[in-house]
Amino acid sequence: MNPISYTPVPLDRLPLGTTAVVSSLDAEGRNLRHMEDLGFIPGACIRALHRAPAGDPTAYTVMGAVIALRRKDASRILCRPVSQSESAYKAQQGSSSGILSKSGPFCAAPEGSVHP
């Protein structure tokens, strides 16, 4: 049984608590390099954690770090939400890196986490 596929969405539209995989970046030059340096690279596992009371910025986990991004920057990162069943499916394939496996990108669900 194959996991469900989701259409990529801009990171700023990812609901809080949702885990996703970076699909692509809509940036060039310095902006692209800055996003990559922060860990937002295709295949990276990310999770929307907290949003400021005024709605901007939003904190995300990426590659073990918590990074706050403004909405305009987050909108340039396309990601694909990952379901809990897909996380379990990919984990059964034998990879534990949390970023990339031989069968493709996946995100291991943190202990006690809730996925949509």
Spell out the domains of the chain, with CATH numbers in brackets.
9-91 (2.30.30.90)
Q: What is the pLDDT of residues 57-114, one digit of tens each?
A: 999 999 889 999 999 999 999 999 987 555 544 444 444 444 444 334 456 544 444 4
CA-wise closest residue to 22 among 115, 104, 116: 104
Cis-peptide into 57, omega within 30 deg: yes
Please tell me the pTM assigned to this model.
0.70
